[in-house]
Every structure is written in C-alpha cells, then in structure tokens.
Structure 1
Amino acid sequence: MNSKNQFKTIFRFELGNYFKNKVFVGTTIVLMILLSVIMFFPKISGLVKGSSDDREQKILLLSSEDPTLTQMAQTAFEKAFPDYQITITDPDAADIRSKINDGTADCGFLLQDAQNYTYFVKNLSMYDANPEIADQILRGISEIKAMTEAGLSPERAGSILATEVSHTVEATGKDQSQNFFYTYIMIFALYMVILLYGQMVSTSVATEKSSRAMELLVTSADPVKMMFGKVLAACLAGLVQLLCVFGTAFLLFNLTRDDWADNQIVTSIFDIPLHLLLFMLIFFILGFLIYAFLYGAVGSTVSKLEDINTAIMPITFLFIIAFIVVMTALGSGEVDNLPMMVCSFIPFTSPMAMFTRIAMSTVPSWQITISIAILAVSVCGTGVLAARIYRVGVLLYGTTPKPAEVLRMIWKGR
C-alpha cells in the first residue's frame, strides 16, 4: 500500500469511527435540539405569555400625600416606564403591599416627598433597575422645585432640565462592544473543542496501543501518515459537529430574526463580518491541529488508559494558561497589552490571542501574516515530531517514559 492510500485508509477509518460513535452523534443531536428551543424561545414565550396573561401591560402603583408631587411624578413616570401602566392609588403602604402580593399590581412607589420613597415589589430581581430610574425622576423634580422657589416658572425650569445633548461616536478602528460576544464564543468554543477532542485523540491512540495490534501496524505503515490521518479525522469530525450545531442556530436565527431584533447580544453574534469568520476558521483549525498532535503523541507513550489524564496534564495546563491570559485581556478591553502581544506569536497561544486582537483591535497586516506563518509551520513541525514520538511510543510498555527519554530514542533512530 503506497503512502497516499495509507493516509486515505487511516483517515476514512478514524472519521468513520467518530460518525458511528453513538455519544458523538447523540451529543450533536441534543445540542441541535437545545439550540432550536433557544432560538424559538422568544416566539414560544410570547405565545405562552399572550395566552396566560390577562393584563396587556404591567401595572405600576404610584402614590403620595402631596397631590402636586403625585401629578409631576405621574407625568415623568409615564415617559420613563413605557412598559407599565401607571396607576395612582391611596398612600397606604399596607394596601400597596397587598395589591402586589395578590398579583393585582407588579410594583409600586410610595413617595414620602421628592427626596424619599419606598419601592414595593414581590420578588426583587437582580436586574431590576426601577429604583435607579425613579431616583433620576425625583432628582429632576427636586431641581424643578428648587428653581421655581428661586423665581423661575415651572415651564422654564422644566425646559432647562429637558435640554438634550446629542453626540456622535466615530471609531477609527474596531468597536469592541460590537465584536465582544462572537470573540468570546470563538475563544470558548476553541477551548472546549481542544480539551474534548484532544483527549479523544489521546484516548484513541492509547486504546489501540493496549490492543497490541499497533505493533504490527506501526511497522508496516508510515507513522506520519498515521498521525496526520488520526488528527485530521478528529479535526474534520469536530468541524462537522460545530457546523451542524452553529449552522442550525444560524438557520433558525434567520427564521426568527424579528423576534431577536431587540437583543443586541444575539444579533451581533450572527452578524459577524466575513473576514472575521475566515480568520476564525484559520486560527480555529490550526490551533486545534497543533494541540491534537501533542495529545496524540502523549497518548502513544501511555501504557494504561488510567494514566492518560496525568500524562496530558502539562499540555492542558499550557492551554488553560493561554485561555486565562486571553480572557483576562478580553474582559479588561486591553487586548494590545504586552502579554497579548507576546502570545500572538507563540504558536500554542496565538490561535486565541491573535484572533482576539484582530476582532477587538487594529492589528497591522504584517503581524497577522507572521503569526499565521509561525503557527502553520509549527503545526507541520509538531505533526512530524508527534509522528516520530508515536512510532516510538506505541512500542513502549510499562512505566510512561519521560520526555527526555523519548526524544533520545527518536534521536537514535529507534
């Protein structure tokens, strides 16, 4: 069998194993169904809400012993709370509390004066911003009162406070708020896929080694073809799985785009620019390959399956450190700091670091070219080295050899 046929045979065999794996297929289907439910959630929740909610609008109770304050607050509250029906009620705390508890109203404000009030709500959400909005309203009312007491008419005071300021923001580079979410998803997806499929590659190699059939196969087949066949099959299987999952999400998003119109996070994720999508694929594939080769090489040196986690721990720690550096920079917004600049040219960290900088900052073309070139050459070099370690490792049994010992065997031509 020539080398070309060897690669095809190994590649097809390994790829077939993934597609026949019930866990692989089942996980893909479950994720597709889960994303389908998520994408249709606004439509489903709208139908459920429309059929179960007798009130068209949420009700906000407003009360005060000062009629003038009540009138001024009502006008301001109606503009500030468009989703609520503002209802004036008696300034009785027990009555307001009772109406909220029995579901007659959703929340209520009892104004002692323009500087003090009590906010009533049954279950206080951690995202409830109603008190902050009320603070701004009452602060404005207090300022109007102070101006009128100083001699200005209420109309003049109101017009002064209602003065609007407009502004225009022009980003000459990248808008980080727009690119943050799909950058985060790419980094997180790369993190999960590398850890998952990397361990699958190392486990597959260790399992074959334990059968002793590899002793015959490794002596009759080119180890480079075997290693590249295994890793590329795992890479393609991972890409197919991601394509099924995210392809389903993209298709359903376009079917329910109107339901997500008000959700900037979701719309920004699916409106990723084409050039960023291409960079994402490049760094995703190259990043996966370099770590998969390392995982496969380490898996070949393990004699027992239970030793895999210990053997691959240094590689996993290396990847986690890179992940932490990138996520820290992403969270702070300082993606061009020194650690990120250095990580952009180190092949084990550049898939995440350089893509993050491309998406969140303005990176010179020469830096991108050098980073991709270093990463591509490193993938090829790591693949060849992993194949040689693979050829030596599958013939070693007993105690897992140390890296220096494996390299020495490779150097001696074993």
Structure 2
Amino acid sequence: MSKFITVMMHTYRSKIKSKPFLISTIITIALMFVVSNMNEIVKVFSGDDVSRVAVIDKMGNAFAPLQSQVKQYDDEFKLEEFKQSEKVAEKRVQDGKLDGLLILEQDANGMISAKYKAEDVTKQDLITDIQTALQQIKTKMAAESIGLNQEQLAAIYLPVGFDKESLSTTAKSEEEAAQVYVLVYVVLFFMYMSVMMYGSMIAVEVATEKSSRVMEILISSISPVKQMFGKIFGIVLLALTQLALFVASGFAAVKLNGRLSGNDSIIKELKLNDMPVSLIVYALIFFLLGFFLYATLFAMIGSLISRVEEVNSFMTPVVIFIVAAFMIAMYGRENPESGFVAAASFFPLFTPMLMLLRVGMLSLPIWEVALGIGVLAGAIVLFAIIGARVYRGGVLMYGNAPSLKLFKQAVLLSKQEKKNIAK
C-alpha cells in the first residue's frame, strides 16, 4: 500500500509543480475573470464616452418624443437636435465631431421614417436602439390615428396569459429545469474537457516512462498494477485540484460581475444557491466514476505504446466515444425523455454523461439511477481487471507498431510473467 501511495503522490507532486500546469491554471482563471466581466472592462477602457447623434427633424414634432423614448432605456448615446443643413451635419460627422446623423421625415402614409448616416454603420447596438425607439413612436402615432388611447394600446401589447403544466410525472418544474440546465451543462463540459486533457496526460506519462526505459527499473520494485492505479489516482488528485480552483474562480468571477454591474448574478437569477444537494452529489459521483473509467482505458493504452508520438493514434477510438457521448448529451438536454438517450445512458462509455443528464433533467426512479451507477462501477472493475493484465504485459513490450494485436500479446505476456513469478 505504501508503494501505491508513493507512486500516487509522486505523480501528483511532479505534475502540480510543473510549469505547464501552473501556467495553464493561471491563464484559465484569468480568462474566467476577463470573460465574465468583459462589459465592465470595456467600460473602463472606453471611459465615459457617449455617442453623439445629431437629429434633423423635418417633421417638426418628432424629436421630443424620440428623445424621451431613448432616455427610458439607453444612456450610451445622446440625441442632439440639429438646426443647420444636412451637409453641415454630414461634414461634422466626417470630422469626427458627431458620431452619426439621423434625419426624421414623414412617409407617404403620414408615418415617421428615418435615415441614418455615419462613418461606420456597423455599430448594431446603437442602430438597433434607435430603430426600436422609432418603432415605438410609430406604433403610438398609428394608434392615435385610429382613435386608440394609451390604455387600449397597452391592452393590445399586454402579453397573452400562458400557463404551463407538465403532465409527465418525471418532468421537473420550469425553475428546477433552469437550475439543472446550467449545472448539467457545466458538469458535462468539465467532464468532457477533463477526460480529454487528463486522460491523454495519463497515456503520455506511461508512454514517456516506457520510451526512456525507466519502466524496467520501476517494475522491479513495484508491481505494474499498483503503478498503474497509483498514476491514475495521482492524475485524479491533480484533476480535482485544478477543477476545484476553476470552480471557485468561476464562482468568484460571477459574484464580482454582479457587484461591478449592480445586477443580480446568474447565481441569484437561477437560484443556484438553492440547488438540490442530491443533484450535486450525483454530479460528483458520475464525474468521478466517469473519470476513473476513461483513466483506466488511457493507462492501458499508454502501456501498449513505446513512443509518445504514437499516443494520438491509439487514443482516437476512445476520443470518438467521448465526443459521441458529449454530442448525445447535447441532444439529450432538449430531449431528456428520448428513448434513444435512455438506452444510450446504460452503455458504460456513455453512462457518466447521459445518466447525469437524465438525473438532472428528469425525476428518475431510484432503481434506474442505481442501475446506472452499478453498470458504471461494474465496467470500471472489468476495465481495471483487463487493464491491469494488459498493463502488466504491455509495459514490457517495446518497438511494436500500434495495432489491436498488441492487446492480445500484452495479455499473453502478463500470463507468462505470472507463471514465472509463481515458479
């Protein structure tokens, strides 16, 4: 047991102190804070600049209601009534003294119409806000032309009453679905990225030791099985450390955004603080079991490879399963009750993602969840037994081109080694 812990902690310490790990962790955390607070950062660098738009009101009575309408929901640009000619206004736009020119006219039906001129007409936010304000003014003018008062107009645009009631006994409420949607998406994404990143790390670690012939020294002092699981658990600790840092940093970044912007963060909006504890527990269970499942496969793959350059070619089949599971999970987010998703969730390589999805999006009976966990645990034990045999023989195989025949050769070599030890 002490040798197993020694391998595990050696793997953990060597990786957590490595420059690639430290740099990637720092950069990822920094990106989380930058992306989640991008609006506030843009405001800091742009200052308090407000776009100035000149308005030539050819109707004579449209500027005041337009200005009033804009002030209700947007303070990022300022409308200024322009009394001089259109050419003078265009010249000021070209000189950079104005950001745009808006000309208000009356169309053939007596309704308001507009023309916008600027050096750059690709600023969609500004243009969209002006269009929205003009549309509201036009709606008001049209209502007044047919004799509607403000109460009648408000009644027309009042949202239709629409109550939703699910008849399915396994469906969750809309609020619960919103909470689960975010958690499931985040966990699925982390699971996908973790398996891809740390799984390859395990395979490369084993392949690197084989290529340097360090393995021949190691297996003389510790059994290959203990070495394999020591490396797997060491990488698992590394993954959990980094993911814990990412989760804590992401939470802090979102909270910071809420304080800077003055708006409720997504945590409050979706009431993520009220997330059911059972769902969080299931997320951890399926994440850890899924990681162990794929980690065992990648360690077995690494033992069959003599050179690091061959890792990608052997990883491809496993990666295809990971990508397929992720794509089915993305489909299942919108169709969690699909029979296809339900059946696929009991296939071991898909179970971590799909069963978590179904547990989160549906109210599954306990026996289904237990069966999913049992299938996954059984697959891990099976893969561990096969992987241990392949690993035992694979670490002694050098110079072979990557092929499926290596699995059989590794198992036979493992049996031969056992016989030699027994003698």
TM-score category (smaller protein): 0.7 to 0.9
**What does residue range 320-335 of structure 1 map to in structure 2 within 5 Å?**
320-330=323-333, 333-335=334-336
**What does residue range 12-91 of structure 1 map to in structure 2 within 5 Å?**
12-38=9-35, 45-49=42-46, 52-53=47-48, 58-79=51-72, 81=74, 84-90=77-83
Equivalent position of 1:161 in the other structure: 153
CA deviation map 1:319-374 (0-9, x unaligned): 112222223444xx233333322332222122222333344444444333322222
CA contact (8 A) 2:215 2:395 kept: yes
Correspondent of 1:309 among 283, 307, 312? 312
Equivalent position of 1:235 in the other structure: 236
Give me the whole-angstrom Cα distance separating, in 2, the residues matched to 1:357 and 1:376: 18
TM-score, length of structure 2 as denominator length: 0.80
CA contact (8 A) 1:202 1:298 kept: yes
Give me the whole-angstrom Cα distance separating, in 2, the residues matched to 1:177 and 1:92: 54
Cα displacement (A) at 1:199: 1.0
Give me the whole-angstrom Cα distance separating, in 2, the residues matched to 1:365 and 1:90: 74
SS where residue 115 of structure 2 aligns?
Answer: strand
**1:300–1:34 CA distance, 2 compared to 1 (3 A):** same
CA contact (8 A) 2:304 2:406 kept: no
Give me the whole-angstrom Cα distance separating, in 2, the residues matched to 1:6 and 1:44: 50
Equivalent position of 1:210 in the other structure: 211
Cα displacement (A) at 1:405: 5.1
Give me the whole-angstrom Cα distance separating, in 2, the residues matched to 1:140 and 1:284: 53
Correspondent of 2:103 among 93, 100, 110? 110
Give me the whole-angstrom Cα distance separating, in 1, the residues matched to 2:164 and 2:105: 44
**What does residue range 116-195 of structure 1 map to in structure 2 within 5 Å?**
116-121=113-118, 122-125=120-123, 129-130=128-129, 132-134=131-133, 136-147=135-146, 152=147, 156-163=148-155, 165=158, 167=161, 173-175=173-175, 176-195=177-196
Give me the whole-angstrom Cα distance separating, in 2, the residues matched to 1:287 and 1:83: 48
Cα displacement (A) at 1:26: 2.4
Give me the whole-angstrom Cα distance separating, in 1, the residues matched to 2:97 and 2:350: 56
Are positions 1:318 and 2:321 aligned together?
yes
SS where residue 219 of structure 2 aligns?
Answer: helix
TM-score, length of structure 1 as denominator length: 0.81
Percent sequence identity over aligned pairs: 25
Give me the whole-angstrom Cα distance separating, in 1, the residues matched to 2:373 and 2:224: 26
CA contact (8 A) 1:91 1:110 kept: no
Give me the whole-angstrom Cα distance separating, in 1, the residues matched to 2:178 and 2:116: 33
Give me the whole-angstrom Cα distance separating, in 1, the residues matched to 2:282 and 2:17: 31
CA contact (8 A) 1:179 1:359 kept: yes
Cα displacement (A) at 1:254: 3.7
Specify the code of the residue in structure 2 equivalent to 1:241: Q
Structure 2 unaligned blocks of 5 or more: 166-171, 417-423
SS where residue 80 of structure 2 aligns?
Answer: strand
CA contact (8 A) 1:174 1:360 kept: no
Correspondent of 1:281 among 271, 275, 284? 284
Backbone CA RMSD of aligned residues: 3.4
Q: Which runs of 4+ in 1 moved over 6 A?
A: none
Structure 1 unaligned blocks of 5 or more: none
